[in-house]
Structure 1
Amino acid sequence: MDSFYKYHVFFCVNQREPGADRPSCANCNAQQMQEYAKKRVKTLGLAGPGQVRINKAGCLDRCELGPTLVVYPEGVWYTYIDETDIDEIVDSHLANGKIVERLKIDQ
């Protein structure tokens, strides 16, 4: 069965209370990076059915490795720092199907 999207990307944007035992992706600009990725795939003409969908997610439970995102259908997990990293994930993985090994989180 074909997937409705070629790639479905989920960005953890979870926000924990100050002093929480675990880190929070929201404290690492996750919301801004999700919005940036969404605009970037749209600008490149990659957004929409049959192509790429960028979504927000609650906690993905990879907190200590964050901020995190996951790309389906492969289930490839990434961490990132800034727009340069997001550009590399979009350009390499989402546009050309090549996993960005330097940002990949081990399963």
Structure 2
Amino acid sequence: MKYKKHVFICTNQKDAPKKSCGVERGGALVDAFKASLKEKGLLSEIRAQKTGCLDVCAFGPGMVVYPEGVFYGNVQLSDVEEIVESHLIGDKAVERLVIG
């Protein structure tokens, strides 16, 4: 396997009234995860990237971490470092953000 972990962050754009992860800072989350992983020298082990709809719109912005398949919802920019440190590095999901 090329990456130890893979983070997919929804950046899908949907028309109202559905919540749209792309509008709700999905792109900014992708940038924040990439910056954090780069700063920690983890880009060769962990990949963060944008994705289309993850079908968790009501909980958006949503993301999923593989290989565990842990879905996170209502992720804020202020949550990025906690997810990186706790889950991506420490292998412990951030339970308060887990959905599904």
Please confirm whether the aligned pair reaches a TM-score higher than 0.5, indicating the same fold.
Answer: yes
Partners of 1:15 and 1:74 in 2: how far apart? 26
Structure of larger gyration radius: 1
Letter in 2 for 1:99: A
> Which residue matches 2:78?
84
Secondary structure of the corresponding residue to residue 10 of structure 1: strand
Secondary structure of the corresponding residue to residue 91 of structure 1: helix
Aligned residues: 100
Offset, 1:95: 1.2
Letter in 1 for 2:23: N
Q: CA RMSD of the aligned region, Å?
A: 1.2
- Could you tell me the TM-score, scaled by structure 2's length? 0.92
- Could you tell me the TM-score, scaled by structure 1's length? 0.87
> Which residue matches 2:96?
102
Partner of residue 73 from structure 1, selected from 67, 73, 86 = 67
Partner of residue 42 from structure 2, selected from 9, 28, 46 = 46
Partners of 1:60 and 1:23 in 2: how far apart? 12
